[in-house]
Amino acid sequence: MSKLLKIRKRDGTYEFFEVSKIEKALFNSIHDARGDKEALRAKALTKQVVQFLETNQLKDISLTVKDVEDVIFDVLNDNRMKDVVEIYKTFQKKQRGLTAFKTFRNVRDDIGLTPNSLKVLSTRYLLKDNEGNIVETPRRLFERVAKCIAMVDSKYKSGSVQKSTKLFTDLLSNLEFLPNTPTLMNAGTDLGQLSACFVLPIEDSLDSIFTTLKNTALIQQSSGGTGFNFSKLRSKGSIVNSTKGVSSGPISFMQIFDKVTGEIKQGGKRRGANMGLLSVYHPDIESFINLKSRDGVMSNFNLSVLLDNSFFERVKEDKHIFLVDPHTKKQVKPVKASELFDLIVENAWKTGDPGIIFIDEINRHNPTPKIGRLEATNPCGEQALLPYESCNLGSINLVNIFVKKQFNWEKLKKTVRTSIHFLDNVIDANKYVIPELEQVTKSNRKIGLGLMGFAETLIKSNIPYDSEQALDFAEKLMSFIQKEARKKSEELGKERGSFPNFEKSVLKDKYSHMRNATVTTIAPTGSISIIAGVSSGIEPLFAISFIREALEGTSLLETNELFENLAREKGFYSKKLMHEIAKQGSIQKIKGIPKNIKQLFVTALDINPEWHVKIQSKFQKHTDNGVSKTVNLPMTATKEEIKKIFLLAHELKCKGITVYRYGSKKQQVLYFSEDNKLLKVKQDYAGGCPDKVCSV
């Protein structure tokens, strides 16, 4: 009896491993290719297959049907039976084609997704009845969303609901573009809240604080993420005039927000997401910077310090800044800017928090400065918004822009135009949980089109991520998207009317019409990149081969598809090699892999930190809003390296920067297992920061 007990089928279920099935399939394939006599070899070949599987099976790692087929092909090739391989493949394909659609955990896959994509869809996105049974397929989900968003066209003379429904359905089901999570979850449902990003004001009064807390609860309950600037709250120990008592300070209120968020859980489907911001000039800034130094504190918040250009000048000149009480406006005490900066660096090194927001750079690109100054962002920091403003994000899947192995700029142009149309419609289709959100959002009509699958796009174009060629491509790509997005928004402005604050905006000097105050944002695309089956946002690959934690406590070996295909084509593929790579995630120290392939398939930790920042800055140059990007660092990274990263990001005019040193947190979604020392990831990780809270 074989030591191999269970095997994971393509539909996600498990069955007992049966040697007889392999022998039968081999017998039939050899018989068709070479006749009766040769078919008698099936038993001996089956024995070779099983022996290899038993010898190379990793502890606690589940076998899949594909794993077994790979070994069968290797054995047949070793026995000079390439003709049988082709027959076997045809036979297996025919067997799988007997059913029109595959199913995965009771989800009928009618568009051809990966098991991991189907798992994410079934957990969070596909509609369920009152008993928790899934009642729609992936295609039906996309049709539901497309129809809801296309209905907005009926409000405008130039619109065609029927045409837009078809366009949007194709766009989504071909995985060429996906909107942010709340749109996929809630479009066409009674809830109807479609935005991912919100900023709410916090003034220095209990009434304002707890009104915002209530509004936060409503937003988080409907799947949104919220950002807050706590800088207006008086510092800890300040006198409260009405009671003559003392204030507990902004951090105490942040902890209340964190607790409430943890209790609500976004939309009942995912953890809450918040951004807490504090000015570097606030008297409580040191406590804020140190806030997450203890593990597990503020787990529903990302934290960032608001830094201006003046602060960086003081750092370089080794001068002091003055902390200012936001209530009295009086200077409280001088602090050496360089020492405060070092404290930020130290905590970012220890825990990944806080990040930095370059607030002057954000406001240098504020499209509506007469309406108000931008002082807060969404949870991942890429979307700066006014108080009570929301934004709808969506991302183009660059991998599906390729046509006949070539990146197709004309297809990208069409995809951008349809995506901008879609996102503008979302603003009107949206159901706003409080009236202030609708008023401010519709006054500026901000949208944020971004991208995902950048790492694979570079690989398919034979461009290393850490190269000048990649920088040039990044700038060309984002410049093209920005230009086409603006063109489409201008057309919509002529057809439907410009956003109400257009005449008070900086855009009126350049355009006669403009539908949206902003059109581009690069989001981290956590869940939607899992659905699309590509890397997150503009992040590099996090690993080439790794173990993904799957269902029912099982773990599966995954290898980047582009690498696996190339390894097979070049003749150095083996299951043993994939296991070896999974011990470190990277191929850079693996023998037997050609140098040019090593240069192409770099991971986040292979790349020198400055290349992360340079890539981010090239995208930022042509992006209206911000760019979500994490500079991933090895455990050995120093504080001095992090300081250089922060200074370079400021110099290159990024709008924010986040670093994450491997092992900074006890709990992270990417880690090396203690038992077999393999790189493991949680089921819904697609790249970027292994710890940060995200709402997209």
Contact criterion met (CB below 8 Å) for 453 and 535: yes
Q: How many CA atoms lie within 13 A of 539 on its CB side?
A: 28
Buried b (16+ CB within 10 A) or exposed e, 584-594: bbbbeebeebe
Token readout for 356 is: 């930095």
pLDDT exceeds 90 at position 224: yes
For residues 103-111, give the mean pLDDT. 76
Q: Is residue 222 included in any domain, yes or no?
A: yes
Spatial separation of the C-alpha atoms in residues 25 and 668, rounded to whole Å: 42
Q: Which phi-psi region, left, alpha or beta, contains residue 505 (left: φ > 0; alpha: ψ -120 to 50)?
A: beta
| Helices 250-264, 206-221: inter-axial angle, 10-degree rounding | 30
Number of separate domains in the chain = 3
- Out of 103, 129, 145, a domain closes at 103
Q: How far, in Å, CA of 79 to CA of 370, rounded? A: 76
What share of residues in the chain are helix, strand, coil (percent, to 5)?
A: 45, 15, 40
**Structural domain contains residue 452:** no
Catalytic residue among 180, 186, 347, 378: 378
Q: Which residues face 301 on adjacent strands? A: 274
Check whether 94 has a pLDDT greater than 70: no
pLDDT band, very low/low/confident/very high, at 242 (cuts 50, 70, 90)? low
Q: 653 and 542: one domain?
A: yes
Check if the beta carbon of residue 77 is closer than 8 Å to that of residue 21: no
- Contact 220/194 with Cβ under 8 angstroms? no
> Within a domain: residue 615?
yes
Residue range 622-636: mean pLDDT, rounded: 96
347 in the same domain as 205: yes
On whether residue 608 sits in a domain, the answer given is: yes
Mean pLDDT, residues 297-303 taken together: 94
Task: Extract the tokens encoding 395.
Answer: 């991302």
Give the separation between CA 462 and CA 226, rounded to whole angstroms: 39
Shared domain check, 237 and 342: yes
Structure tokens at 663: 């092992």
Residue at 419 is within a domain = no
Q: Record the tokens describing residue 636, joined without a space.
A: 């050995």
Residues 212, 227: Cα–Cα separation, whole Å: 11
In a domain, 109, yes or no: no
Dist. CA 574–CA 315, nearest whole Å? 53
Instruction: Pick the catalytic residue from 148, 197, 380, 391.
Output: 380
Lowest mean pLDDT among 175-184, 242-251, 435-444, 493-502: 242-251
Look up 382 and say whether it is catalytic: yes
Q: Annotated catalytic residue: which of 143, 361, 382, 558?
A: 382
For residue 34, what are the CA distances in angstroms to 84, 95, 407, 637, 659? 8, 21, 42, 59, 59
Q: Cα(408)–Cα(624) distance, rounded to whole angstroms?
A: 24
Question: Which residues make beta-bridge pairs with 556?
Answer: 548
Considering 377, 397, 420, which residue would you say is the last residue of a domain? 377
- Check if 378 is active-site: yes
Question: Looking at the domain assignment, is residue 662 inside a domain?
Answer: yes
d(CA 480, CA 527): 26
**Residue in this structure with the two tokens 């996105």, named with its chain if needed:** 125
Do 229 and 337 lie in one domain? The reply is yes
Are 230 and 354 part of one and the same domain? yes
The DSSP line for 242-277 is: TTTEE---HHHHHHHHHHHHHHH-BTTTB---EEEE
| 342-394: pLDDT as tens digits | 999 999 999 999 999 999 999 999 999 999 999 999 999 999 999 999 999 99
Q: Give the whole-angstrom CA distance, residue 544 versus residue 584.
A: 9
Q: Does 333 lie in the same domain as 226?
A: yes
Instruction: Mean pLDDT check: name the lowest of 5-19, 20-34, 258-272, 401-415.
Output: 5-19
Q: How confident is the model at residue 98 (pLDDT cuts 50, 70, 90)?
A: very low
**pLDDT higher than 60, residue 417:** yes
Last residue within a domain, chosen from 59, 75, 103: 103
Same domain, 336 and 210: yes
Angle between helices 337-351 and 309-317 (to 10 degrees): 110
In angstroms, the CA 389 to CA 277 distance is 16
The mean pLDDT of 632-650, rounded to a whole number, is 97
Helical pair 468-496 and 409-429, crossing angle rounded to 10 deg: 50
Q: Report whether 626 contacts 357 (CB < 8 A).
A: no
Query: In this structure, are 558 and 663 located in the same domain?
Result: yes
Residue 674: exposed, middle, or buried by beta-carbon count in 10 A (0-12, 13-18, 19+)?
Answer: exposed
Max Cα separation, the chain?
99
Chain centroid offset of residue 667 CA: 19
Specify whether 93 is located in the same domain as 202. Answer: no
Q: Which domain holds residue 73?
A: 6-103
Taking residue 60's Cβ as centre, other Cβ atoms within 10 Å add up to 13
Q: What is the pLDDT of residue 239?
A: 76
Whole-model pTM?
Answer: 0.87
Q: Which residue has the higher pLDDT, 98 or 563?
A: 563
Question: What is the chain's Cα-based Rg?
Answer: 27
pLDDT grade, residue 478 (50/70/90)? very high
The answer to whether residue 97 scores a pLDDT higher than 60 is: no
**Band (99; pLDDT cuts 50, 70, 90):** very low
Angstrom CA distances, 235 to 211, 248, 253, 356, 494, stand at: 20, 7, 11, 21, 49
Q: Which residues on adjacent β-strands are paired with residue 321?
A: 335
pLDDT digits over 17-68, tens only? 778 888 888 888 888 788 878 878 988 998 888 888 877 766 556 677 778 8
545: part of which helix (H) or strand (E)? strand 545-549
For the question of residue 130 being annotated catalytic, the response is no
At residue 199, the pLDDT reads 98
Residue 83, both tokens: 């003709």
Query: Once rounded to an integer, what is the mean pLDDT over residues 307-313?
Result: 98
Mean pLDDT, residues 672-682:
66
> Does residue 108 lie within any of the structural domains?
no
- Residues forming a β-bridge with 266: 270
462: its two tokens = 């034979």
Supply the mean pLDDT for the chain. Answer: 90
Residues 85 and 207 in one domain: no
- Nearest in space to 196 (alpha carbons), one of 174, 226, 166: 226
Residue 305 pLDDT more than 70? yes
In the predicted structure, residue 120 carries a pLDDT above the cut 70: yes
Q: How confident is the model at residue 105 (pLDDT cuts 50, 70, 90)?
A: low
- Upstream peptide bond of 354 is cis (omega within 30 degrees of 0): yes
Residue 574: predicted pLDDT: 87
- The whole-number pLDDT of residue 260 equals 92
Dump pLDDT digits (tens) for 540-591.
Answer: 999 999 887 765 556 777 899 999 999 999 999 888 899 899 988 999 999 9
Distances (CA, A) of 639 to 249, 278, 444, 633: 29, 22, 41, 11
Q: Which residues, at least 6 apart from 40, have a Cβ–Cβ distance to it below 8 Å?
A: none
pLDDT of residue 230: 98
For 198, phi then psi, to 5°, come to -140, 145
Which of 163, 235, 663 has its CA nearest to residue 421? 163
Q: Are 357 and 381 in contact (CB under 8 A)?
A: yes
Does the pLDDT of residue 149 top 70, yes or no?
yes
Kindly state whether residues 86 and 228 are assigned to the same domain: no
